[in-house]
Structure 1
Amino acid sequence: MRIGMLTEGGCPYAPGESGLWCDRLVRGLAQHEFDVYAMSGSAGQEERGTPALPPHVRLARTAALWAPADDGVSLGRRERRRFAEHFATLARGVCTGGDGFAEGLDGLAVLARDHGGLPAALRSEVALRALESACRAPGAHRALQAVAVPDLLEAADRLERALRPLSLDWYEDDGLASADLCHAASGGPAALAGLLAKRFCGVPLLVTEYGVHLRARYLEGREDRLSAPVRALLGSFHGLLAREIYARADVLTPGNTHARRWQEQCGADRAKLRTVYPGMTADAFTAVGESGDGEDAGAAGDGHTLVWVGRVEPAKDLVGLLHAFAEIRREEPGARLRLFTAPARDEESAGQLAHCRALAAQLFPDEAADAHAVGDSPVSFDEIGGPEAPSPADAYAAGGVVVLSSVVEGFPLSLVEAMFCGRATVSTDVGAVVEVIGGTGLVVPPRNPRALADACLALLRDPERRARLGAAARARALELFTVEQNVAAFHGIYLELISHSPVRRATEAVDADGGPVPFAHPAEFQVAGRLTGAAHIPSWAADAASGPPAGADTPGTPKEARR
């Protein structure tokens, strides 16, 4: 089958483990064809370039969401009037949270398909006036009443980027129309492109969310320090778009229960939901766990050392972890804490790391003669890839207990890595943490250094318990979170979806009525070797593919088959 893979910032722009699952899925299903349709979210993603794609990826098309688009399309008078009507309907739905959103979105989609792209129109004065009128209309959200011109300009710019799939040329016969199904690797614009392919071409749509796109948009508004009217308008738009995506998608695959709850709250039908955990490459980490098999299983590494691995940012609450470790040192003077950090991405990350170093020196003034030397200070900071920790696996191997102190978390990848390594864990109860560990680690409330310290002390003082929890964690991770289980799950879902739809090809053999010819491509056609190719199709299949002979009175394909 042929899958149209729709991504936003993922494959082939995969920046980390959260995006690599898509690349691994494509490479793991080499028996199928993939067409990758990728949207880049920033200039940095495009500057980093893309890896070489495997041979079964037929094509890769890209679109940029981070830059203003200028397609040169100028709508005529009649089309401008249609645009004004459809956009006003959509804007009223967004501002009041009521009906009209789906109708307006569908009208804009048809207009864009028939008359070219809409980037200029969505930033035009007509669009701004429609937005302003909708914001001030009776029933609009209270925060929108104070909207000003700068707010309207900012909102129009962000709405155009979110609606950029309307203006893409991905829905032709040589594009998504030739796919057997679309797999959107996230919500938002990627899934919107899948909705359009389903609307115009009848292609089934599968939507996967490992991080909830709607939640990310809510947080983005605060991080970008947008005004209250802009946050309210964009929040309503993305909420309504998510509802439309969840309603029209054929199958939804959240990556965990946390994401599933978000989708259910947005109206997703439970019958469509299938939880599929993200697959991770386990070999490097399981080697660490295997080194502790036998009598010392789970007890490998320094049993007096706590390990934290991740990116330094406020959501990880390293400040709370350092205060918790101060409590631990009072009761266990031999305990140590090793912090393995990813390289700082920007000045903010570097500043946060500097603040944590200063706090560690303040909390342990008599011992911090050299904050970089493990032997001189109970707290050390190491960068992943450095001489002390050449790989994440080596970081987990350095201690007996792995700690996660986050106050906000989605799917905790670092916990899964620690579980592969056979390490006992202490975590805060955030995101999908409880679902991931499944009783193989200790969980405490977030922002509670005392509770975090008590849980760490319980494991530091009990090597047998550490060993039991570590072995159980490793077995759970190998069962649920490997690439193999992820690929197998999606392969099954693909087959299920395709079983309800005919094979779609621009060059599909058709009968006199334009319907697909049954058995035109027999199973033998896909077998590698001497049977492969048109020259080796059985005569009965060749006759079917060529259509009925001249003058033959052969009935057309039933309507059920054409569906």
Structure 2
Amino acid sequence: MRVGLLTEGGYPYATGDARVWCDRLVRGLAQHEFEVYALSRGPGQERAGWGELPRHVGRVCTAPLWGEPEPRRGGWGGRRQRRRFAEHFGELAAAISAPYGSGAPHGSGVPGRPTDQADRFANGLHGLADLAGEYGGLSAALRSEDAVRTLERACRALGAPHGAQRARVADLLTVTEALERALRPLSLDWYGHGAGGDPGLSGVDLCHAATGGAAVLPGLLAKRRFGTPLLLTEYGVRLRESYLAGAAGAVGAAGAAGAVGSEGGRPLSGPVRSLLTAFHGRLAAEAYARADLITPGNTHTRRWQERCGADRERLRTVYPGMDAARFAEVGEQGAAPSEGDDRTLVWVGRIEPPKDVIALLHAFAEVRRRQPDARLRIIETRRGEDPEPDGYPAHCRALADHLFPDEAADAHSAGDNPVSFERLGDPEVPTLADAYGAGGVVVLSSVVEGFPVGLVEAMLCGRATVSTDVGAVCEVIGGTGLVVPRATPGRSRTRAWRC
């Protein structure tokens, strides 16, 4: 069987989400042939290159969801093209700017939204895809004045939500730019008989989307055009992440697929967050309605999928497999850390806003007041992607320097900061097992989390865990670790509990 694996921000790149899980999946199914269709999220990911691919990966096609769009053939100057674009984009815009209704039947999409709006979104989406196939791409049209005016009319329509009605021209420009990036898969040449007669997705027997969001779009098109079955796997629901990021107003680089939170380091306005969240909701509903099988990676994700309209009959919870061998040696040593590390906390992951290292540092300041000799080792797993000097990692380091000035025994001694920033692969932490074994307790501080693989790895190493109550944390640790409310470092010490 030939499988088209659809990814966003992960496999086959050396860095990114669900990379390890996808690699285990592909290597474990060597009897099948794989074609990988990957969407990248940033230049750093592409600079890091690909990981090693097995022989049965026949081809890899990539496309960026960031930067300026590539110029493509065709144009949008004709009256007929512009009229058709306004019609189809108008349907999509009307769907994402529609008010929440009530009493919608189960399976109609996002809770409380009527079925006709879901149909309008699907009609607009596939109409735009057909236009892209005929005229060579949508980027120019989606960034045009016609697109802005069409979206503005939808937002000003009678009955539109208050958030959409408050959208200004600057907001509309931001939304159309985000939609252009999110909808780039509609314009790709992955759908059959391109250069050299390559069949592309028309020649695969199954499309497997390894995440929600933009990666689902090629599968939806292949399902509609060629009848190709679609399998969707999610470890975190993109719609939920949009809700959380929008509520927090997180500052950081916006995701290429129109992630809610910020754009280019600037917090997004309420109308922009509202419209982009509605887009993710409509896209999730369409994906759940069309997928032949949906495999959530945990029960927490499954509940969200059901709430968003996924049919229970097509849901199968499949937990990710874990390779315990590389953590066995640390785990066999028992839960007790090595001498001198019993008061050391370890955090392992990528330093980015959803991981909320800021809250972790404030919480550690509370710990130091009660345990002055405690230490915190922050071990970053990102490889090949150097953080920007004015980005989130730099902000975390600056906060650590402010909260914990270097301590010295006297005026003639060198200071020693109780918080250290390290990187996986350094001499002291060459492997993940060494990272988890570098202290007595492993901490997780995320505000958004799907399946917390790091907690499983920490437990395989025999380490105690303290985690924020997000995603599938309680589901994973059972009654073996402490859980605290997310983003509340000042109250965590009095509100810890076991799952």
Is 1:5–1:35's contact at 8 Å kept on the other side of the alignment? yes
Give 1:351's aligned residue: 395
Within 2, Cα distance between the matches of 1:17 and 1:123? 29
Q: Which moved more, 1:381-390 or 1:434-443?
A: 381-390
Q: How far has the Cα of 1:114 moved from its partner? A: 4.1
Question: 1:172–1:388: structure 2 CA closer, same or farther, 3 Å change rule?
Answer: closer
Tell me, yes or no, if structure 1 residue 147 matches structure 2 residue 167. Answer: yes
Residue identity in the other structure for 1:152? L
Within 1, Cα distance between the matches of 2:463 and 2:97? 50
Give 2:288's aligned residue: 246
Q: Deviations over 1:126-173 (max 9, x none)?
A: 222211111111111212223333322222221122111221221215
Secondary structure at 1:355 match in 2: helix
TM-score (norm 2): 0.80
Tell me, yes or no, if structure 1 residue 68 matches structure 2 residue 69. Answer: yes
1:6-155 correspondence to structure 2 within 5 Å: 6-16=6-16, 18-66=18-66, 67-75=68-76, 76-97=78-99, 99=117, 100-155=120-175
Tell me, yes or no, if structure 1 residue 274 matches structure 2 residue 328. Answer: no
Give 1:214's aligned residue: 239
Q: Which moved more, 1:150-159 or 1:131-140?
A: 150-159
Q: How far has the Cα of 1:452 moved from its partner? A: 4.0
Give 2:5's aligned residue: 5
Within 2, Cα distance between the matches of 1:18 and 1:454? 32
Q: 323, 326, 329: which one pairs with 1:284?
A: 326
Question: 1:357–1:269: structure 2 CA closer, same or farther, 3 Å change rule?
Answer: same
Within 1, Cα distance between the matches of 2:292 and 2:125? 19
Is 1:306–1:403's contact at 8 Å kept on the other side of the alignment? no
Give 1:361's aligned residue: 405
Q: How far has the Cα of 1:366 moved from its partner? A: 6.5
| Aligned pairs, number | 444
Is 2:208–2:233's contact at 8 Å kept on the other side of the alignment? yes
Q: How far has the Cα of 1:234 moved from its partner? A: 1.6
Residue identity in the other structure for 1:320? H
1:173-252 correspondence to structure 2 within 5 Å: 174-218=199-243, 219=245, 220-224=259-263, 225-252=267-294
Q: 338, 342, 350: which one pairs with 1:301?
A: 338
Q: Deviations over 1:66-90 (max 9, x none)?
A: 1323213225443432222122122
Q: How far has the Cα of 1:235 moved from its partner? A: 1.6
Question: 1:95–1:258: structure 2 CA closer, same or farther, 3 Å change rule?
Answer: same
Question: 1:442–1:54: structure 2 CA closer, same or farther, 3 Å change rule?
Answer: same
Secondary structure at 1:86 match in 2: helix
Q: 165, 168, 177: which one pairs with 2:185?
A: 165
Q: How far has the Cα of 1:435 moved from its partner? A: 0.9
Within 2, Cα distance between the matches of 1:304 and 1:48? 36
Question: 1:443–1:149: structure 2 CA closer, same or farther, 3 Å change rule?
Answer: closer
Q: How far has the Cα of 1:415 moved from its partner? A: 1.4
Secondary structure at 2:279 match in 1: helix
Within 2, Cα distance between the matches of 1:238 and 1:169? 24
Is 2:75–2:135's contact at 8 Å kept on the other side of the alignment? no
Tell me, yes or no, if structure 1 residue 265 matches structure 2 residue 323. Answer: no
Is 2:185–2:218's contact at 8 Å kept on the other side of the alignment? yes
Q: Deviations over 1:436-456 (max 9, x none)?
A: 111222323342557548979
Question: 1:452–1:255: structure 2 CA closer, same or farther, 3 Å change rule?
Answer: farther
Residue identity in the other structure for 2:201? L
Question: 1:113–1:230: structure 2 CA closer, same or farther, 3 Å change rule?
Answer: same
Give 2:432's aligned residue: 392
Within 1, Cα distance between the matches of 2:81 and 2:418? 69
Q: Deviations over 1:509-562 (max 9, x none)?
A: xxxxxxxxxxxxxxxxxxxxxxxxxxxxxxxxxxxxxxxxxxxxxxxxxxxxxx
Q: Which moved more, 1:91-100 or 1:180-189?
A: 91-100
Question: 1:252–1:134: structure 2 CA closer, same or farther, 3 Å change rule?
Answer: same
Q: Which moved more, 1:207-216 or 1:35-44?
A: 207-216
Secondary structure at 2:51 match in 1: coil
Q: How far has the Cα of 1:190 moved from its partner? A: 0.9
Q: How far has the Cα of 1:184 moved from its partner? A: 0.6
Tell me, yes or no, if structure 1 residue 428 matches structure 2 residue 463. Answer: no
Within 2, Cα distance between the matches of 1:106 and 1:312? 37
Question: 1:365–1:138: structure 2 CA closer, same or farther, 3 Å change rule?
Answer: farther
Within 2, Cα distance between the matches of 1:87 and 1:208? 28
Give 1:441's aligned residue: 481
Within 1, Cα distance between the matches of 2:277 and 2:158? 19
Residue identity in the other structure for 2:145? E
Question: 1:12–1:207: structure 2 CA closer, same or farther, 3 Å change rule?
Answer: same
Within 1, Cα distance between the matches of 2:491 and 2:79? 68
Coordinate RMSD, CA, aligned: 3.0
Give 2:103's aligned residue: none
Within 1, Cα distance between the matches of 2:88 and 2:496? 57
Secondary structure at 1:349 match in 2: helix
1:299-338 correspondence to structure 2 within 5 Å: 299-302=336-339, 304-310=342-348, 311-312=350-351, 315-316=356-357, 317-329=359-371, 336-338=374-376
| Unmatched 5+ stretches in structure 1 | 459-563
Secondary structure at 2:173 match in 1: helix
Tell me, yes or no, if structure 1 residue 340 matches structure 2 residue 343. Answer: no
Is 2:4–2:35's contact at 8 Å kept on the other side of the alignment? yes
Question: 1:44–1:421: structure 2 CA closer, same or farther, 3 Å change rule?
Answer: same
Tell me, yes or no, if structure 1 residue 401 matches structure 2 residue 438. Answer: no
Q: How far has the Cα of 1:313 moved from its partner? A: 5.1
Within 2, Cα distance between the matches of 1:74 and 1:43? 28
Within 2, Cα distance between the matches of 1:72 and 1:320? 53
Is 1:6–1:37's contact at 8 Å kept on the other side of the alignment? yes
Tell me, yes or no, if structure 1 residue 419 matches structure 2 residue 420. Answer: no
Secondary structure at 2:344 match in 1: strand
Within 1, Cα distance between the matches of 2:290 and 2:491? 47
Give 2:105's aligned residue: none
Secondary structure at 1:11 match in 2: coil
Q: Deviations over 1:14-53 (max 9, x none)?
A: 4146322112321221111001111112222222222343
TM-score (norm 1): 0.72
Q: Which has the higher helix share?
A: 1
